[in-house]
Amino acid sequence: MSKNLPPKEHDSTFKFLFEEKKDILLLVKDILKYKWAEMIDKDSIELVKTNYVTQDFMQVEADIIAKARLSEREVYFYILIENQSTVKRDMPLRILKYMISLWAQEIRKGVEVLPAIIPIVVYNGIDKRWNISTNLMEAFDIFRDDVFKYRVVDIIELDMKKFLKKQEDILGPIVFYLEQVREDKNELVKRLYEIEANLKSLSRGNIDRFINWAHYIIRPRLAEELKAEYDKIVERIKEGGVGKMGDFVSNVARLLDETKTKEFNMGIQQGIQQGIQQGIQQGIYRAKVEMAKKLIQKGYSDDEIAELTELEIDEIRKLRKEITN
């Protein structure tokens, strides 16, 4: 079911996640552990526009760009976040385009010192690990060790339990923890129950953002006939807020279990139908073979038998050889 989810739509589900200062801080300070992240002035973090028009009038659009300052220093910088669910070979070139466009904008403003731009790829692919070089200047031979690199946050490899223990009003650890097992309904149900307390700790705004994420990740994994019930559950959450998150967990877990049962039963039915069809085909084939043997014994030619039984000539010759030997 998840294979039908449009890749771009799936990638975009992470855009909303980093529209929150706390999630950006979690990413750069606690997950990637940049040394300078400890000095960020939290109140200075702001999102800026992500699309630019280059000199050749080509539009360039990044997923998330945040601007911030360091405490006690007149230094500002940008954090550029690109979300991916598939490995992209052109990622170094794409990031360079974003950075060049952003710097070009700063130059047009007349800045004397270009701000640092920290590129990050948040990758939520499950089947394949990120295997593209993070060195943006890899092609520049002897200079490649002297230029900047981007960091990859490979969600599958993160240990999110230490962040979940804090039960803070931060959505990132919850989403990452569930994303790790989104293709395994059994594990998804298990983890939904594990994070119930975390969901109950979320603010109204983060609950809405979680529901938005779940719409694109959990809902498509439900049986088609169960999606209407899921939508009703979501409506109750929107009306009741955090007090209804326990109901969300138990009911969505139930719908995922029902989906698994339906898929299992459907697989059995398909197996039975395939078995019946194979049995019928085998029965028809055996009848043709028996007919061919009788026609051989009565002296019919191979061509005549092929026409009457629709068997291949080579197969009839093989039967004739078995009978005459």
Tokens, residue 232: 């009703």
CA distance 15 to 292: 68
The whole-number pLDDT of residue 278 equals: 67
Query: Per residue in 63-91, pLDDT tens?
Result: 788 888 888 777 777 888 888 888 888 88
Query: How far apart, in Å, do the first and last CA atoms of the chain sit?
Result: 56
CA distance 309 to 295: 10
Q: What is the four-CA torsion angle of 281, 287, 293, 298, rounded to 10 degrees?
A: -140
Q: What is the pTM of this model?
A: 0.66
The whole-number pLDDT of residue 228 equals: 92
The whole-number pLDDT of residue 210 equals: 92
Which residues of the chain carry a pLDDT beneath 70? 1-14, 50-61, 139-148, 241-242, 263-280, 325
